[in-house]
C-alpha cells in the first residue's frame, strides 16, 4: 500500500529525455526550443524555432524567441528580419519592441534603437527588460542620467534579475 500523501512517481529511463523530441504541437515544440536555448544549444534552438515559425506562422512568441536565438548567434540581420515580420501580427507587443531595440543597438543604429526602446517602455511599463534595454540605449546615445534612472527602474521592477542588478551596481560605482 502507498503511504500517506503518496503520489505516483515515474523513474527515468534512457528514452524519457527524448520524449519532448517526439511530441508534436506548438506548445510542445515551443517548450523544447526554449529548453535548447536555455541550455546553450543556440543553433539547434534557432532551427527548432524556425521549424515552429514555418508550421505556425504569425505566432509572435515563436518569432521573438527565434529573434533572440539569431541575436545570440550574432545574426542581427536575420534577427531584425524576423522581428520586423512579427510587427504586423502584434504591433503592441512590448517584447517585440524590446528585442528590436536591443538588435538595433547591436547594429549601431542608435536612433532607431531609441525609438523602439521608448515604444517598448510605453507598451510594457511594468516589464523590467523594457526599462533595462531603454537604459542601455540611453547610455549609448550619451543620456547618462536618464539611462541610469531607466536601469534603476528595471532593478526595482525585477530585483532578482542578476544582469540588471549587476548593471545597476556598476552604474552606481563608476
Query: For residue range 135-148, what is the model confidence (pLDDT) as tens digits?
Result: 999 999 999 999 99
Q: How confident is the model over 20-37, as pLDDT tens digits?
A: 555 568 888 899 999 999
Confidence of residue 172 (pLDDT cuts 50, 70, 90): confident
Residue-wise DSSP of the chain = -PPTT--------TTGGGHHHH--SHHHHHHHHHHHHHTT-HHHHHHHHHHHHHHSTT-HHHHHHHHHHHHHTT-HHHHHHHHHHHTTT-TT-HHHHHHHHHHHHHTT-HHHHHHHHHHHHHH-TT-HHHHHHHHHHHHHTT-HHHHHHHHHHHHHH-TT-HHHHHHHHHHH--
Give this prediction's pTM.
0.78
Summary mean pLDDT of the chain: 89
Amino acid at each position: 500500500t502507498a503511504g500517506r500523501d503518496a503520489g505516483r512517481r515515474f523513474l527515468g529511463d534512457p528514452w524519457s529525455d527524448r520524449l519532448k523530441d517526439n511530441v508534436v504541437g506548438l506548445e510542445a515544440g515551443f517548450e523544447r526550443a526554449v529548453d535548447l536555448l536555455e541550455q546553450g544549444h543556440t543553433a539547434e534552438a534557432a532551427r527548432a524555432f524556425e521549424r515552429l515559425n514555418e508550421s505556425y506562422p504569425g505566432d509572435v512568441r515563436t518569432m521573438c524567441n527565434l529573434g533572440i536565438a539569431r541575436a545570440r548567434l550574432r545574426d542581427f540581420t536575420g534577427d531584425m528580419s524576423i522581428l520586423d515580420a512579427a510587427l504586423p501580427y502584434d504591433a503592441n507587443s512590448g517584447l517585440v519592441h524590446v528585442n528590436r531595440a536591443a538588435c538595433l543597438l547591436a547594429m549601431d543604429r542608435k536612433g532607431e534603437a531609441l525609438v523602439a526602446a521608448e515604444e517598448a517602455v510605453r507598451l510594457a511599463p511594468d516589464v523590467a527588460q523594457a526599462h533595462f534595454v531603454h537604459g542601455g540605449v540611453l547610455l549609448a546615445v550619451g543620456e547618462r542620467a536618464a539611462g541610469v534612472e531607466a536601469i534603476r527602474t528595471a532593478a526595482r521592477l525585477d530585483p532578482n534579475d542578476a544582469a540588471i542588478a549587476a548593471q545597476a551596481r556598476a552604474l552606481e560605482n563608476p
